[in-house]
Structure 1
Amino acid sequence: MNHSKIWEKSKERIKTSQPQHAYSTWFDPIRSIGLSENELVLEVPNQFFFEWIQSHYKQIIKDEVEAVYGGQIKIKYTVSPEGRKSETHNNLNEKKPNRKKQYNRNKQLNEKYTLSSFIEGTNNQFAKAAARNVAESPGKQSFNPLVIYGGVGMGKTHLLHAIGNRVFHGQRNKRVVCASSEKFTLDFISSIQKNRTVEFSKSYRNTDILLIDDVQFFQGKEQTQEQFFHTFNELFQAGKQIVMTADRYPGEMVGLQDRLLSRFSSGLSADIQPPDFETRVAIVMEKAEQNGLKLSYDIIEFIGTHIKNNVRELESTIIRLLAHSSLAKKEIDFRLAKKVVKERLGSNAIYDITTEDIVRRVSETTHIKEKEIVGSSRKMEIAEARQISIYLCREILGTPFVSLGIYFGGRDHSTILHACRVMEDKTKKDQRIGRLVSELKRELSFSVN
């Protein structure tokens, strides 16, 4: 049996014991390239792939190959030539004068962060438009400086690096310097210790566009603020573009010199708000695709419903889901997704809900006031919201009919029973009602399970 057949049969065995997505991601891309003296040589796409196989699947592969081979055999891994060359390919094809610029870009900018990969929603539309404008026409006084502000994990750093990447690719003659406020501070301190403040100043001022992340961390650092003030002034007066990110609007920052805040506020400030539901769903779909995961819409919707705070949490949830599935050798289903979301949110996500909580959530969804839902009005839309609330209380909490009757305006047992039967029938026949009740039930059930 030659090396190709040994590996193909080994993969067939592995496929039966591993989740489909794990097999597709980690085993299918491996190629067999030779067999000599009881040693099978397997080729993997890149170094990261090799390290993952070594730490997670090395023994599985060895066991299955030996089962097919019929005895002990050594497994040797080699990284494909394309994988080894990928990191240096661009450098090898650039002319020598551009090598330094290529190195600087790789060192300072994250190439994954581009404007095209930044998912746009109503929460970040203005900030993305401002970033695109600055990237295409750096140095315009009306948008200079540009301050992108918002909470943790909203995508500020993504936009900052995306501007730098767009400028680099579109305007090769422009020099880009990108650094966090912490790096700026450490570089400044180091320059003082080594008596190289002139070199420090040149490194940050000899640029066409300066990108500084998290400027709020300059607070309390008087000498660093002084140095940044002069850097800012020199670049601004020379018509160079300055872009900064912060956790709040410049006028609300504390611990920074007034003259700095005045300059920060003189340009354009664009905020990024927490993503809405539709944007969260789009982000989950994009992150899942990037990680080679095929998730059902129910799982995507579930994650988007409960992970609300920021993009970073959504991304880490996808990574955690992949890790759980790969390491536990389980297919990704709704139960696993629910477990991962609970782990991600922590104990705060597990709480007992009450009838009041259900009525409040139905009120928020249907835009019917809570007092009208529990009141006596027979208007069609109010009666419908009331029936939904009653039905959910029975389905999720198992509240007795008598107790529900008392809570919902003193209605008798038969009225509550009728409401439940009507709503059960509507969920099957009315697509709108069925979808609404299903979404509410899924969300509220998560809180009590």
Structure 2
Amino acid sequence: VNVRLRKLEGTGRPATGAVAGGNGNGHNRATGETPAAPRTRSTTTRRPGRSDDRGPAAGSLNPRNTFETFVVGSNNQMAHAAAMAVAQAPAQAYNPLFLYGDTGLGKTHLMHAIGHAILRANPDARVAYLSTEKFTNEFIQALQENALTRFRQRYRHVDILLIDDVQFLAGKERIQEEFFHTFNDLFESGKQIVLTSDRRASEIQKLESRLVSRFEWGLPADIQAPDLETRFAILRTKAQQLNCSLPEPILSFIAQHITKNIRRLEGALLKVSSYSALTNKPIDLPTVERLLHDVLMEQAQNVLTIETIQKRVADHYQIRHSDMTSKRRPNNIAIPRQIAMYLARTLTKHSLQEIGDAFGGRDHGTVIHACKAVDNMMEQDSSTRGSVEFLKAQLSK
């Protein structure tokens, strides 16, 4: 991808990106019709550094975040396939594409990869990538400077809009109003929208229902924490990129001990490989343990306990923590208690009897029954499934 420095209109700051006209073909959900092809725009070469009224070069796409460098595993297979489909057929496959999952699992990587792939296939595509925070700040600045028309031209006249961390729209009524109309304009013009969040749209509190429904129009695709095999593959790929050669037992040790965050996983590898390169000394396991002592200690301190699960579930369902161990059985208490047992069974290594003991001395059969009941509820009720997945994601941080 050719990246040019270009001055952003209205900001006075240089930014990287690629900007030009695109074909904008797509289907109009509101009318069922395919929109007419947009007018042909001038392709005259512009000098770097000059403002360009054809659209924003908003944010920057990390050149390392491509599909080629993304490691696919069982945790992200669906999200990767959906992102590939969007890149190959913008606004025709899944629109919007809503990628969600915990921090540091690759959502932004996939979003950047979509942008790179589209620009590679069509260098004239008008691609805008920015965070929700940047969208918010630019909107506020436009209000203060009486420049809303210019702001709207920037983000409602692109072919691809990539917005990171839409959970930060929560509670911002004026920003949600603006984003609602931006979304509608782009969608009805057959333009592709890609969004990321740390949770399902339906789990974002204080997000207007009309936005929730639009975010779910296309395909919500989640990304989970990588399993051991995928973590090992990520480390091998990253080691090749860094041109460093570490023994497989070292890579295996890192993969086994850093389990929930790909950024931390890659950061640990970088620290170990840098030490090896700077000292010109061979790396052994005791050295790795010493280098990663702080990270490993933090992981150990964050070991999930049954009590933590009980408190988090109780807070979510607005009941008392003591209800988790009581004999009370009304549905508003019994169901959260069963969900807490299910999460304890899923997220910890405690035995059935240990879990039962932690829930007021219940036997292992009660725990088995609770887990089966929650499985059934998740199959039959999307709201329960969403709540359980949200709690699981929060507890896995």
TM-score if structure 2 supplies the norm length? 0.61
Contact 1:306 1:341 in 2 (8 A): no
Q: How far 1:107 sits from its partner (Å)?
A: 4.9
Q: How far 1:98 sits from its partner (Å)?
A: 8.3
Over 3 Å counting, the alpha-carbon distance change for 1:105 and 1:289 in structure 2 is: farther
Equivalent of 1:274, from 218, 225, 236?
225
- Partners of 1:370 and 1:223 lie apart in 2 by 49
Equivalent of 2:282, from 321, 327, 331?
331
The question of 1:96 aligning with 2:48 is answered no
In structure 2, the partner of 1:70 is none
Contact 1:123 1:275 in 2 (8 A): yes
1:35-81 residue CA offsets vs partner (Å, 9 max, x unmatched): xxxxxxxxxxxxxxxxxxxxxxxxxxxxxxxxxxxxxxxxxxxxxxx
The question of 1:116 aligning with 2:68 is answered yes
Greater C-alpha radius of gyration? 1
Over 3 Å counting, the alpha-carbon distance change for 1:233 and 1:180 in structure 2 is: same
In structure 2, the partner of 1:229 is 180
SS of aligned partner of 1:178: strand
User: Superposition pairs for residues 59-74 of structure 1, below 5 Å?
Assistant: none
Over 3 Å counting, the alpha-carbon distance change for 1:309 and 1:196 in structure 2 is: same
Contact 2:56 2:155 in 1 (8 A): no
Over 3 Å counting, the alpha-carbon distance change for 1:347 and 1:156 in structure 2 is: closer
Q: Which amino acid aligns with 1:114?
A: T
- Partners of 2:301 and 2:169 lie apart in 1 by 38
In structure 1, the partner of 2:258 is 307
Identical aligned residues as a percent: 44
User: Superposition pairs for residues 133-172 of structure 1, below 5 Å?
Assistant: 133-140=85-92, 143-172=94-123
Q: How far 1:95 sits from its partner (Å)?
A: 7.6
Over 3 Å counting, the alpha-carbon distance change for 1:147 and 1:107 in structure 2 is: closer
In structure 2, the partner of 1:295 is 246
Over 3 Å counting, the alpha-carbon distance change for 1:105 and 1:277 in structure 2 is: farther
Over 3 Å counting, the alpha-carbon distance change for 1:222 and 1:106 in structure 2 is: closer
The question of 1:248 aligning with 2:199 is answered yes
Over 3 Å counting, the alpha-carbon distance change for 1:347 and 1:131 in structure 2 is: closer
- Partners of 2:216 and 2:59 lie apart in 1 by 30
- Partners of 2:275 and 2:172 lie apart in 1 by 43
Q: Which amino acid aligns with 1:283?
A: I
User: Which of the pair has the greater relative contact order for Cα pairs under 8 Å at 6+ separation?
Assistant: 2
Q: Which amino acid aligns with 1:96?
A: T
Instruction: Give the superposed CA RMSD.
Output: 3.0
The question of 1:201 aligning with 2:152 is answered yes
Unpaired segments of 5 or more residues in structure 1? 1-87, 352-363, 372-449
SS of aligned partner of 1:172: coil
Unpaired segments of 5 or more residues in structure 2? 1-15, 19-42, 303-345, 354-397
1:328-373 residue CA offsets vs partner (Å, 9 max, x unmatched): 554322222222333222255389xxxxxxxxxxxx9xxxx999xx
1:418-445 residue CA offsets vs partner (Å, 9 max, x unmatched): xxxxxxxxxxxxxxxxxxxxxxxxxxxx
In structure 1, the partner of 2:389 is none
Over 3 Å counting, the alpha-carbon distance change for 1:272 and 1:336 in structure 2 is: same
In structure 2, the partner of 1:239 is 190
SS of aligned partner of 1:96: coil
1:266-317 residue CA offsets vs partner (Å, 9 max, x unmatched): 1100010110111100101111121221011111111111110021111110
In structure 2, the partner of 1:321 is 272
In structure 1, the partner of 2:291 is 340
Q: Which amino acid aligns with 1:187?
A: E
- Partners of 1:115 and 1:143 lie apart in 2 by 18
SS of aligned partner of 1:164: helix
In structure 2, the partner of 1:440 is none
Over 3 Å counting, the alpha-carbon distance change for 1:126 and 1:277 in structure 2 is: same
Which protein is richer in helix relative to its size?
1
- Partners of 1:128 and 1:114 lie apart in 2 by 11
In structure 2, the partner of 1:20 is none
Q: How many residues align?
A: 264
Q: How far 1:166 sits from its partner (Å)?
A: 0.5
SS of aligned partner of 2:292: helix
SS of aligned partner of 1:269: strand
Q: Which amino acid aligns with 1:331?
A: P
Q: Which amino acid aligns with 1:288?
A: A
